[in-house]
Amino acid sequence: MLLPLLAGAATAVPVAAGAVSLDDGDEKTSDQVTGESLVATELVVLTDRVEAGKPFDVAVVFTCSPSWHLYWKNAGDSGAPPTVQWTLPAGFTAKELRFPVPSVHDVPGEKTYVHDGTLALVATIVPPADAATIPAESLLKADLMWMTCKEICLVGRRSHEARVPREATTDSTVAFKTANTRMKPLLAQHPKASLRAIGASASIDGDAAVVVLPPKTATATFVPADTPGVVYGEPRMETTSTGQPALKIPFTLKPQDALGKPLSVAGIVIIDATKSAPVAAEFALEPQGVAGNGQAPAKSPTKQKT
Partner 1 sequence: MKKSIATLLLAGLASTLAVGTFAIADDAPATQAPGTGAPAQDTKTDKKDKKEEKREKKDGEKSKGTAKIGEAAPNFTLKTTDGKDWSLSDAKGKIVVLEWCNPECPACQRVTSDGTVASMIKDANGVTKDVVFVMVNSSARSQSSLDATAGYLKEHKLDVPAVLDTDGKVGRMYGAKTTPHCYVIDASGVLRYEGAIDDGNPGKKGTNNYVVNAIKQIKAGETVSPEQTRAYGCSVKYKD
Q: Which x/- pattern, by CB under 8 A, does the window 206-235 give for partner 1?
A: --------------------x-x-------
What is the distance between the alpha carbons of residues 259 and 246, in angstroms, rounded to a whole number?
31
Considering the complex, state which of residue 108 and residue 294 has its C-beta at the smaller distance from partner 1: 108
Considering the complex, state which of residue 112 and residue 138 has its C-beta at the smaller distance from partner 1: 112
Among 8, 15, 22, 35, binds partner 1 (CB under 8 A): 35
**Judged by CB under 8 A, does residue 154 bind partner 1?**
yes
DSSP annotation of 291? -
Piece in contact with partner 1 (CB under 8 A), picked from 4-12, 107-115, 176-184, 200-208 = 107-115
Among 30, 32, 159, 252, binds partner 1 (CB under 8 A): 30
**Judged by CB under 8 A, does residue 112 bind partner 1?**
yes
- Say what the alpha-carbon torsion angle 170, 176, 177, 183 is, to the nearest 10 degrees: 160
Select from 272, 270, 222, 227 the least CA-distant residue to 73. 227
Select from 261, 251, 232, 241 the least CA-distant residue to 304. 241
Give kind and range of the element (H or E) at residue 182.
helix 170-187
Considering the complex, state which of residue 127 and residue 287 has its C-beta at the smaller distance from partner 1: 287
Q: How far is the CB of 282 from partner 1 (least distance, A)?
A: 19
Considering the complex, state which of residue 80 and residue 187 has its C-beta at the smaller distance from partner 1: 80
Among 21, 78, 87, 159, binds partner 1 (CB under 8 A): 78
Q: How far is the CB of 80 from partner 1 (least distance, A)?
A: 4
In the region spanning residues 243 to 272, those forming contacts with partner 1, defined by CB under 8 A, are 254, 256-259
CB 103 within 8 A of CB 111: no
Buried b (16+ CB within 10 A) or exposed e, 110-138: eebbbbbebbbbbbebbbbeeeeebbeeb
**Judged by CB under 8 A, does residue 40 bind partner 1?**
no
CB 38 within 8 A of CB 23: no
Select from 47, 52, 16, 18 the least CA-distant residue to 33. 18
Q: How far is the CB of 256 from partner 1 (least distance, A)?
A: 4
Partners of 202 in the beta sheet?
211
Among 43, 147, 209, 270, binds partner 1 (CB under 8 A): 147
Q: What single-letter amino acid sits at 144?
A: L
**Judged by CB under 8 A, does residue 197 bind partner 1?**
no
Residue 274: CB atoms within 10 A of its CB come to 9
Considering the complex, state which of residue 103 and residue 173 has its C-beta at the smaller distance from partner 1: 103
In the complex, which residues of this chain contact partner 1 (CB under 8 A)?
30, 35, 74-75, 77-81, 83, 108-110, 112, 145-147, 149, 151-155, 157, 226, 228, 254, 256-259
